[in-house]
Structure 1
Amino acid sequence: MRSSITSEFIRFVLVGLINTAVYYGVYTILVYAGLFYIAAHFGGFITAFIISYFLNCHFVYGVRPTLLKFLKFPLTQVINMGMQTLLLYVLVDQLGWNEIIAPLPVLIITVPITYGITRWVLKDKEG
């Protein structure tokens, strides 16, 4: 069982790296296109979120994507999004960090919480 969880977490991290690249790519493009950094953050988050759902279902947890799970998935991400947005705001507006660099530590901080929430939602009653 421990090996299974470890393997699952490694796949989750790999998917997270893909999601991070997608998020950061969309975020950076939108910021350079002139969008306010918080709006760019939402654009990147939503794009990566949709991709994340399907990669997590198929690659990480080996579960069938369903409409119910897809509808539950964003509800659990409210905590994640709230934490990311608050941390991004604090780093950029309160601490003066560069808006291009600031999302990186934010994502590192929120990954373990996201793993727990995602696992709970997608594996609910399936194993």
Structure 2
Amino acid sequence: MRQIFTFGVVGVVNTAAYYCLYLFFLTAFPYLVAHILAFALSMGGSFFLNARFTYRTRPTWRKFLLFPLTNLTNFVITTAGVYLIVDVLHAGSRFAPLLASAAAIPVTFAVSRRVMLPETIA
């Protein structure tokens, strides 16, 4: 349970860092460049925060290079979730991303754990 809680806290910190970086880069770059730069930097920060605090493991290049799979997993699940909520269930689009993101947390955590602690999962 500690890992899941810490994973959530790191996610909140990472989201705040992304948004602050995005706003900072937006002063000098077009929005898409600002988004890409902020996303890349916050993903790197997320990797090191999760290695240190969530999984208490030594960061390695292998783990660092595999870590973007967690973001890809999150993207796929939240995108599918938003589609399901809005187009299939005909619910409103305003809160669909929040619901889809909440549903993605356990799967994203499992992928993240697999990347960060491959020796503990068979």
TM-score, length-normalised on structure 2? 0.67
Asked if structure 1 preserves the Cα contact closer than 8 Å seen for 2:77 and 2:100, the reply is no
Query: Is 2:60 aligned against 1:73?
Result: no
Distance 2:33 2:78 in 1: 13
Superposition pairs for residues 1-127 of structure 1, below 5 Å?
Answer: 6-33=1-28, 35-36=30-31, 38-81=32-75, 105=98, 108-109=101-102, 110-126=104-120
Q: How big is each residue's C-alpha offset from its partner over 1:59-90, in whole Å with a ceiling of 9 and x where there is no partner?
A: 10011111111111124433335667897xxx
SS in 2 for 1:63: coil
Distance 1:64 1:114 in 2: 20
Distance 2:113 2:52 in 1: 13
Aligned-pair identity in percent equals 33
The 3 A distance-change label for structure 1 pair 10 and 43 is same
Q: How big is each residue's C-alpha offset from its partner over 1:93-127, in whole Å with a ceiling of 9 and x where there is no partner?
A: xxxx8xxxxxx849945544432221121111146
The 3 A distance-change label for structure 1 pair 40 and 112 is farther
The 3 A distance-change label for structure 1 pair 82 and 50 is same
Q: CA RMSD in A?
A: 3.3
Gaps of 5+ in 1: 1-5, 88-96, 98-103
Distance 2:21 2:10 in 1: 16
TM-score, length-normalised on structure 1? 0.65
Amino acid across the alignment from 1:51: G
Distance 1:115 1:56 in 2: 10
Q: How big is each residue's C-alpha offset from its partner over 1:11-67, in whole Å with a ceiling of 9 and x where there is no partner?
A: 11111111011101011223344522x332222211110011111011100111111
Distance 1:108 1:9 in 2: 15
Gaps of 5+ in 2: 83-93
Amino acid across the alignment from 1:114: T
SS in 2 for 1:20: helix
**Aligned length in residues:** 109
